[in-house]
Structure 1
Amino acid sequence: MTETAVTETAGRTPDAALRADGVGRVFGRGANEVHALRDVSLVARAGELLVVRGPSGSGKTTLLNILGGLDRPTSGEVVLAGERTLSAMRERDVLQVRRREIGYVFQSFGLVPVLSAAENVEVPLRLQGVEPRERAERVARALALVGLDAHAAQRPYELSGGQQQRVGIARALVAEPAVLIADEPTGQLDSGTAATVMDLVREVVHERGVAAVVSTHDPLLVQRADRVVELHDGRVVQPG
């Protein structure tokens, strides 16, 4: 692992799946203005696990929301592979990108309680209008990838926290996205389970060539990164 935090240089990078160039995000106005991000530049490369670390309130979630198209920057831009500027797209086009090219893993798991593991994983494919037989095949592959093929019929309350997060990872990967965004994906897990989940993410990233951006403040999980970017007060900084 390369543990040196770096301030990425904006500009074209041949293997970049996702790039942030001078991204800033301001909430509020006037005396109530809060600069959540200031001039953040970074590159997420295919086949690489990039960890964004920093204390609570450092801007990690805001940055990941912008990288994933859930929010728009106040300044700067987010660029996808092929030099498509995500932050300048119409909302309906951003929605299509989120459905087809970006997978999300959430700290709170985000599973639908009344759906089985397989049905939860299937949701992105239903939104894309994928044919039923293909949906079933891809869901089965995704659950097998995370080691839960034997738990396909179980609902979230019948699964452990680690298993629920594995379902979340399978759901994020079932559409075969180029980019995986994970915001504190192990925040609700014990250290042993968290390490197992992060090992799974790293394995998938390396084997499938996915560009993963994962936020965490856990130093044990940072050790599994290929590269680390550290945020403090909305800025990328060198490690202390």
Structure 2
Amino acid sequence: MTLALRGEKLSRTFSSAAGDVHACVDIDIEVAAGELVVVRGASGAGKTTLLNLLGGLDAPTSGTVWIGDVEATALDEDALAALRRERLGFVFQSFGLIPILSAAENVELPLRIAKTPPAERDARVAEALKLVGLADHAAQRPTELSGGQQQRVGIARAIAVRPHVLIADEPTGQLDSRTAATVMDLIGDLVHSQGLAAIVSTHDPLLVQRADRVIELHDGRVTSVTSVTGRDAAGPAAATTDAPAPDAEEHDESHTPRTRAEAREQRRTDH
């Protein structure tokens, strides 16, 4: 197993007028190449803070982050920015697309920032849009695309840089359940076909079933690590359970797809 991302004893404390807020507390986490890990928990549980720490968008109060064999938390700002450009891809809940740019131009933007040669840029943009099923929509602007298509452009932008790690913070938060499932299927397929390591935050129990491993956060602490595929979860906080998540009671489990293949088949049947 090749570890692409690792956090050790990560803590982040914010000061406020009401006192210190411990957003993350002594979190150990590992994500391997070709693995899709979902982080779930209620609002305020620390999901976004954890992803920001792992992606180098915020600095931990204590602890270390490793991207492959590089200790990201030991780098200065310039070196950290370069590491993010070269090894990390980010997908955001709000899509984060520039309205005046076409889908292709949005995907191309990080490659321009990285000063990728024009011919290679064009090839990568075309490849990324094809992978997310939007090759025929390259010239369209975000306002001409559906929410699901916009998020797929966001995913294409993230993978165009050919990252080692994909970090997605509530990527389906603004989508309906059917489109959200399609987007999560896409992320899962890319992870396994491209050998990416992906960590995705969500609170949707239907999307959790697409993961290889699920990490539960509560008040900034890891409370359980569940192997969805049946493999034993690794680490001192690991615990594999068949009990449904607390907020899963609202869903009919008998109709919940357990794998990406089952999800695709269910959508075909529904049509």
Taking structure 2 as the reference length, what is the TM-score of the superposition? 0.82
Q: Which residue pairs with 1:42 in the alignment?
A: 29
Q: Cα distance, 1:30 vs. partner?
A: 8.1
Q: Which residue pairs with 2:117 in the alignment?
A: 131
Separation in 1, partners of 2:216, 2:59: 21
Closer, same or farther: CA 30–157 of 1 in aligned 2, 3 Å? closer
AA aligned opposite 1:187: G
Separation in 1, partners of 2:117, 2:10: 38
Separation in 2, partners of 1:165, 1:196: 11
Q: Which residue pairs with 2:88 in the alignment?
A: 102
Separation in 2, partners of 1:151, 1:231: 38
Say whether 1:204 aligns with 2:190: yes
Separation in 1, partners of 2:37, 2:16: 32
Say whether 1:88 aligns with 2:74: yes
Separation in 1, partners of 2:215, 2:130: 32
Separation in 1, partners of 2:18, 2:103: 47
Q: Cα distance, 1:31 vs. partner?
A: 5.2
1:57 to 44, 48, 51: 44
Q: Cα distance, 1:32 vs. partner?
A: 2.0
AA aligned opposite 1:67: L
Taking structure 1 as the reference length, what is the TM-score of the superposition? 0.92
Q: Which residue pairs with 2:55 in the alignment?
A: 68
Q: Cα distance, 1:93 vs. partner?
A: 0.5
- Structure 1 runs, 4 residues or longer, greater than 4 Å off: none
Separation in 2, partners of 1:122, 1:26: 36
Closer, same or farther: CA 216–207 of 1 in aligned 2, 3 Å? same
Per-residue Cα deviation, 1:81-111 (whole angstroms, up to 9, x for no partner): 12x2111210101100111100000000000
Structure 1: state its 5+ residue gaps.
1-13
Matches for 1:185-224 after TM superposition, within 5 Å: 185-224=171-210
Q: Which residue pairs with 1:25 in the alignment?
A: 12
Per-residue Cα deviation, 1:179-215 (whole angstroms, up to 9, x for no partner): 0000000000000000000000000000111000000
Q: Which residue pairs with 1:6 in the alignment?
A: none
Separation in 2, partners of 1:151, 1:174: 16
Count of aligned pairs between the two proteins: 226
Give identity over the alignment, percent.
Answer: 63
Separation in 2, partners of 1:85, 1:177: 17
Closer, same or farther: CA 150–21 of 1 in aligned 2, 3 Å? same
Higher relative contact order (CA 8 A, sep 6+): 1
Say whether 1:182 aligns with 2:168: yes
Per-residue Cα deviation, 1:125-179 (whole angstroms, up to 9, x for no partner): 0011011111111100000000001000000000000000000000000010000
Matches for 1:136-151 after TM superposition, within 5 Å: 136-151=122-137
Say whether 1:172 aligns with 2:153: no
Separation in 2, partners of 1:119, 1:178: 22
AA aligned opposite 2:58: D
Superposed CA RMSD: 1.2
Per-residue Cα deviation, 1:206-238 (whole angstroms, up to 9, x for no partner): 011100000000000000000011000000002
Q: Secondary structure at the match of 1:224?
A: coil
Q: Which residue pairs with 2:141 in the alignment?
A: 155
Q: Cα distance, 1:40 vs. partner?
A: 0.5
* Higher Rg: 2
AA aligned opposite 2:8: D
